[in-house]
Amino acid sequence: MASKLYRSNHPTPGQLAHAHHHVSLRTVINLRGEKPNASNELSLATAIRLNLQHEFLAFESRGAPHRDRVLRYHDLYQTIAFPALIHCKSGADRAGLASGLAILFEGGTAKDALSQLSWRFGHVRHSATGILDAFFINYAKEAEGRIAFLDWVETEYDEAELKARFVTTGLASFVNDRLLVRE
């Protein structure tokens, strides 16, 4: 999948141009959403200049994944031009969620999807961002092998229940939110 989908922190215009040149990048998916900020404006302008497809898709890093956004991402994933780059601010949490979802879209396992949320990418599992891990773990425990992932998302996944069951530790959240200054 590495030649089909890449992930990163929010790329600079130079990084986008480099990826476009070296891996023939064709699409950029900004997982931060359409927030008005200079980084988004630079990325969008660069994508237009390079003739890249540019999509905004807002994922949360500290909330249970929204059913409608997971399904929208799947629809988008079916229609975009590859290779594609998915990015958030740091490349750790939302990019990890989107990478894991892509693995499941391609027929992979929840364990493989969960590997995209690791310290290796800067993800802090025991902080509030661990709810993203809980999403994949929930699918593995409740439905994997019994029902297809997208069918589970559409018919059985319960965001409110996942939020209610998720517990975080204060120290890990302090590190993630205050020291690493994650969105």
Alpha carbon of residue 62 to chain centroid: 12
> Quick one: pLDDT band at residue 26, thresholds 50, 70, 90?
very high
User: Can you tell me the mean pLDDT for 135-163?
Assistant: 96
Domains of the chain, by residue range, sit at: 5-179
pTM metric for this prediction? 0.89
pLDDT tens sequence across 40-93: 999 999 999 999 999 999 999 889 999 999 999 999 999 999 999 999 998 889
Integer Cα distance of 117 and 97 in angstroms? 7
Over 60: is that where the pLDDT of 177 sits? no
Q: What's the mean pLDDT in 103-110?
A: 97
CA nearest to 139, candidates 156, 117, 116, 127: 156
Fold that domain 5-179 belongs to in CATH: Protein-Tyrosine Phosphatase; Chain A (3.90.190)
